[in-house]
Amino acid sequence: MSVHPVDKPLGLTSHDVVAQARRSLSTRRVGHAGTLDPLATGVLVLLVGESTKLSPYLTAGDKRYLAWVALGAGTPTLDAEGPVSDSADPQALTALTAETIAAAAQEFLDLTSQRPPAFSAVKQQGQRSYAAARRGELEEPPERSVRYLDVELLGFAPNRDQLPQRFGPTPGGWRPAADGRSFELPPTLTELPTALFALTVGAGTYVRSFARDLGTALGVPAHLAGLVRTGAGAIDLSECTPLGELGTTPGVEPLAALSQPKLEVNADTALALRQGKKLSLPVTELTVVHEADGALVALVEPRALAAEGQGARDEPPEPSTLELSAAAEQGTRTVQPVRVVRAWQR
């Protein structure tokens, strides 16, 4: 299995990147884990061959971004594609301060649902929302579950050019750094006060919606003036290969790419899982089971003893010596029955 994180360039769709990867890697079997808009850059995880089966589990990881929010102008796409469709009263813009912006942004940490952009890949009545929007049949998608895990204001300035221009990785994520790297951002639509954020969000959260709703909270229209994905699950931007160099690096091991909890097991337990035997293991959530050499064994999750509306299931057998041995390797004897979500043969 092969996982290739790439640094997506500005202006390409995720489909464009996949098409180029198929040529660079000489295979048709290429997919990706988590779409990036054309005006966004950064981490796009490409999956090759058998690793395409990992897509749902890689896509489910949290995402980390640097986001530039231009305050004072709204657009139909909620980003810098334009055109400007709504403008703020200049007096409202002069009242904006870093303190009021930071306070409004913190409210997103309590948000549990949000409306995606009309120009998005969300499906409505069997078709992508952006397809209807581009035909002029603009229909706002319904709200969907979202999670904002961290919202940090890194800077606020009269225009984007006055904000930090270089960034580097830190233990807390990518932050301004004088000796760091710069990012290519889309051209600005007009000179506007701009706020720079570091965001950590759950899967399926649209940062364009964050820009729109932040503006609403501040009483002005707003749009996303730039976006860099600095992390996706366990993958950091520092691990990504430039698209033009794809095929010259080995990529990353699937085990390292998955962000779910890990459980190392011995050869006997690995074989039993691969054979579909019922086991009890020390897990509390979806967990990646692997062998000592890093080979993937299975994705497992706790097996419910009762299914809603179906009544109680048969009690599982007592954990075997094999299962208790696997638990002991992890420093615990607390085990529970597991269901194999997916298994991989050696």
CATH at residue 40: 3.30.2350.10
Same domain, yes or no: 16 and 34: yes
CA 292 to chain centre: 28
* Residues in Cβ contact with 129 at an 8 Å cutoff, skipping those fewer than 6 apart: 116, 117, 118, 119, 120, 121, 122, 123, 139, 141
71 lies in some domain: yes
Residues labelled as active-site residues: 37
Of 216, 232, 248, the last residue of a domain is 232
CA distance 7 to 13: 12
119 lies in some domain: no
Domain count, the chain: 3
Per-residue CA distances from 211 to 108, 225, 247, 313 (Å): 11, 9, 36, 47
83 lies in some domain: yes
> What is the chain's pLDDT, residue by residue, as a tens digit (346 residues)?
789 999 999 999 999 999 999 999 999 999 999 899 999 999 999 999 989 999 999 999 999 999 999 999 999 999 999 899 999 999 999 999 999 999 999 999 999 999 999 876 554 455 444 444 454 555 678 899 999 999 999 999 999 999 999 999 999 999 999 999 999 999 999 999 999 999 999 999 999 999 999 999 999 999 999 999 999 999 999 999 999 999 898 899 999 999 999 999 999 999 999 999 999 999 999 999 999 999 999 999 998 632 333 344 444 444 454 554 555 455 555 789 999 999 999 8
Domain with 168, as residue range(s), is 63-111+146-232
Of 217, 232, 247, the last residue of a domain is 232
* Residues in Cβ contact with 270 at an 8 Å cutoff, skipping those fewer than 6 apart: 289, 291, 295, 297
CA 115 to chain centre: 17
| CATH code: domain of residue 296 | 2.30.130.10
Same domain, yes or no: 178 and 318: no
CB neighbours of residue 278 within 10 Å: 15
289 lies in some domain: yes
Helices (H), 45-128: 55-59, 90-94, 98-106
134 lies in some domain: no
Same domain, yes or no: 198 and 245: no
Same domain, yes or no: 152 and 282: no
324 lies in some domain: yes
DSSP three-state, residue 266: coil
CA distance 198 to 178: 17
Same domain, yes or no: 79 and 228: yes
266 lies in some domain: yes
Same domain, yes or no: 41 and 97: no
Assess contact for 128 and 35: CB atoms under 8 A.
Answer: no
Same domain, yes or no: 303 and 162: no
